[in-house]
A and B are shown apart, each in its own frame.
Chain A
Amino acid sequence: MAKIIVITSGKGGVGKTTTSAAFAAGLALRGFKTVVIDFDIGLRNLDLIMGCERRVVYDFVNVIRGESNLKQALIKDKRIDNLYILPASQTRDKDALTLEGVEKVFDELNPEFDYIVCDSPAGIERGAYLAMYFADTAIVVTNPEVSSVRDSDRMLGILASKSRRSEQKLEPIKEHLLLTRYATSRVERGDMLSVDDVLEILAIPLLGVIPESQAVLRASNSGVPVTMDPESDAGQAYLDAVGRFLGEDIPYRFIKPVKRTFLQRIFGAKEGAAA
């Protein structure tokens, strides 16, 4: 039985797709057979972040409509064994995704995979609803910024009341907080909400803190999940988060500012470089 993970946030642009790609790749690197599914119907982008945009032939909606079978639509990653991508459709038909259709695809993936990672679109519309509906676990991606924190709280309410687990009165979805784009120096200055601030407000367990990092843009530029760049701070932080997700006790890094020497300050050593 595969475990279904939804990467969600409510707000857009906080790093859901980056996280989906990094996390799925991280799980696959650990040897788990993982599929990552793009639920952002109409605005397909996971394929670009995963670097397989030119290999898309069939998509999620084709499978649901029976226009192709699942095997034809799944793209096997060329770099990491055990990693597969199911791209979103670019149709403008809002009703292309159906609950029954998604369930059918999950039923088929279930015996084949260890993890199904669902990359939720922003908002609380159909795509986001279906991405979280069947989830066992949710990773709530949040930026240390007011609108993102508020939307995450809203999303937590939806996870607790609108999911399959809540409707069938099963054990609730397990929630994890992933704080992204964290800038320790700004937190230190008092101009950015700290990890503790966000934890106090959202009150869910912390899975990881991903520093604001140049590695993320570099990774997306080249279509490589950032966890495949283990030298980078963001890559390391994501790999740590994957380890914690698998139950390992890993200390938090990148939550204290990097001490810079006088000379580094003068010559402008990069903030948030790997510590």
Chain B
Amino acid sequence: MSLLDYIFRNSKQAKGTASIAKERLQIIVSHERTTRSGPDYLPMLQRELIEVITKYVDIDQDQVKVELERSGNFSILELNIMLPDEATVE
């Protein structure tokens, strides 16, 4: 590394990587906190939904995802169900 590189290295990296770390952490930590502090009824809701759906369609238990996401002053209840290739209606 030349002397010039050495001198200018500091100014180039002036922002440093700490700010990237902080930003990434703020996002992931706040995301993980919302899933963690999700309402207690979520697992029960998920179970009952699966029961209802299995009455009509033969689905795999782990193909159902229930997530509650909060952003600002509203929440989104996201229900994601993977149906089998040929849904068998009973």
Binding site for B on A (CB under 8 A): 145-146, 149-150, 153-154, 157, 161, 187, 189-194, 197, 200-201
Question: Counting chain A CB atoms within 10 Å of each CB, which of B17, B21, B37 scores highest?
Answer: B21
Binding site for A on B (CB under 8 A): 10, 13-19, 21-22, 24-26, 28-29, 32-33, 36-37
Say yes or no: B16 contacts A150, CB within 8 Å.
Answer: no
Say yes or no: A201 contacts B25, CB within 8 Å.
Answer: yes
CB B47 to nearest CB in A, in angstroms, measures 20
Known contacts A146-B24, A157-B36: does B29 contact A190 (CB below 8 Å)? no
Say yes or no: A192 contacts B33, CB within 8 Å.
Answer: no
Instruction: Please measure, in the bound complex, the distance between the C-alpha atom of A63 and the C-alpha atom of B34, giving whole angstroms.
Output: 41
Q: Which residues of chain A come closer than 8 Å to B17, judged between CB atoms?
A: 190-191
Say yes or no: A201 contacts B26, CB within 8 Å.
Answer: yes
Say yes or no: A197 contacts B22, CB within 8 Å.
Answer: yes
7 residue pairs from A and B, CB less than 8 Å apart: A150-B29, A150-B32, A157-B32, A157-B37, A193-B18, A193-B21, A201-B29
CB A170 to nearest CB in B, in angstroms, measures 19
From A145, A153, A200, give the contact of B33 (CB < 8 A): A153
Say yes or no: B32 contacts A191, CB within 8 Å.
Answer: no
Say yes or no: B22 contacts A201, CB within 8 Å.
Answer: yes
Q: Which residues of chain A come closer than 8 Å to B19, judged between CB atoms?
A: 190
Known contacts A153-B33, A157-B33, A157-B36: does B18 contact A191 (CB below 8 Å)? yes
CB B35 to nearest CB in A, in angstroms, measures 10
Instruction: Please measure, in the bound complex, the distance between the C-alpha atom of A11 and the C-alpha atom of B62, giving whole angstroms.
Output: 29
Q: Which residues of chain B come closer than 8 Å to A201, judged between CB atoms?
A: 22, 25-26, 29
Instruction: Please measure, in the bound complex, the distance between the C-alpha atom of A109 and the C-alpha atom of B36, giving whole angstroms.
Output: 34
Q: Which residues of chain A come closer than 8 Å to B14, judged between CB atoms?
A: 190
CB B26 to nearest CB in A, in angstroms, measures 6
Say yes or no: A189 contacts B16, CB within 8 Å.
Answer: yes
Say yes or no: B32 contacts A154, CB within 8 Å.
Answer: yes
Q: Which residues of chain B come closer than 8 Å to A187, judged between CB atoms?
A: 18
CB B15 to nearest CB in A, in angstroms, measures 6
Instruction: Please measure, in the bound complex, the distance between the C-alpha atom of A145 and the C-alpha atom of B18, giving whole angstroms.
Output: 9
Say yes or no: B21 contacts A146, CB within 8 Å.
Answer: yes
Say yes or no: B21 contacts A190, CB within 8 Å.
Answer: no
Say yes or no: A190 contacts B13, CB within 8 Å.
Answer: yes
Instruction: Please measure, in the bound complex, the distance between the C-alpha atom of A77 and the C-alpha atom of B19, giving whole angstroms.
Output: 44
Known A145-B21, A190-B13; 17 more pairs at CB < 8 Å: A146-B21, A146-B24, A150-B28, A153-B29, A153-B33, A161-B36, A190-B14, A190-B16, A190-B19, A191-B13, A191-B16, A191-B18, A193-B21, A194-B18, A197-B18, A197-B21, A201-B22
Q: With CB as the reference atom, state the residue of chain A lying closest to B10.
A: A189
Q: Which residues of chain B come closer than 8 Å to A191, judged between CB atoms?
A: 13, 16-18
Q: Which residues of chain A come closer than 8 Å to B36, judged between CB atoms?
A: 157, 161
Say yes or no: A192 contacts B26, CB within 8 Å.
Answer: no
From B25, B32, B33, give the contact of A146 (CB < 8 A): B25
Instruction: Please measure, in the bound complex, the distance between the C-alpha atom of A157 and the C-alpha atom of B32, giving whole angstroms.
Output: 10
The 3 closest A-B pairs by CB, nearest first: A190-B16, A191-B16, A197-B22
Known contacts A190-B13, A190-B14, A190-B15: does B21 contact A153 (CB below 8 Å)? no
Question: Counting chain A CB atoms within 10 Å of each CB, which of B16, B19, B32, B37 scores highest?
Answer: B16
Q: With CB as the reference atom, state the residue of chain A lying closest to B28.
A: A150
